[in-house]
Amino acid sequence: MLGRFKGWFSALSKAGKIGVISGAVVLSFAAIGAASPQNHDPKAVKGESTKATPQPAQPIIEHKVVTATENIPFESQTVDDASLADGTNQTQTEGANGIRTKTYDVTLTNGVETSRTLIKEEVTPQPVTQVIKHGTHIATPYRVGATCVDGWPSSATGSGACSHHHGVSCWQYSDGTCRSY
């Protein structure tokens, strides 16, 4: 095979084409496999790739401490109170929200969160329950005056009321009623 190349080389060198010939010779050697690096690599003979396998990039792992807070709404409680008039309400204790603080260890792999572990949880301040007193006292009506027979109003509440007006027609009570006796 080399003899054939020598013949081409001498023919072309006489024609002044040596640069082209030397390129053709190198290409021809590569084409027939004489100068091919595949013939010198044992993996290439078996048909395996000789290209370098790219190594996967090492993951970048970071840890951050993250704190999250949330409101804890207060509860409301109503208690009956006989000292308050029926149907009235009075706030005994104002309610207040609490705050829950959670602290996490967050793992990031290549900038993406991959895990979150609760480290600590605190509630400060604690929520305060609102207490509302609900009145249940039903007042017993009491005399506040009288209406005389002739229609005259009197503030007297006992005997002698309306004595100059022909007597009591009805007694006036605190609940607004007028009751005859």
Q: Which domains does the chain have, with CATH numbers?
A: 2-45 (no CATH), 61-137 (2.20.230.10), 143-179 (no CATH)
pLDDT in tens, 94-116: 999 999 999 999 999 999 999 99
pLDDT confidence tier of residue 61, bands split at 50, 70 and 90: very high
Compute the distance between CA of residue 164 and CA of residue 30 in angstroms, rounded to an integer. Answer: 146
Whole-prediction pTM: 0.47
- Eight-state DSSP code of residue 57: P
Average the pLDDT over 8-21 and give the result: 47
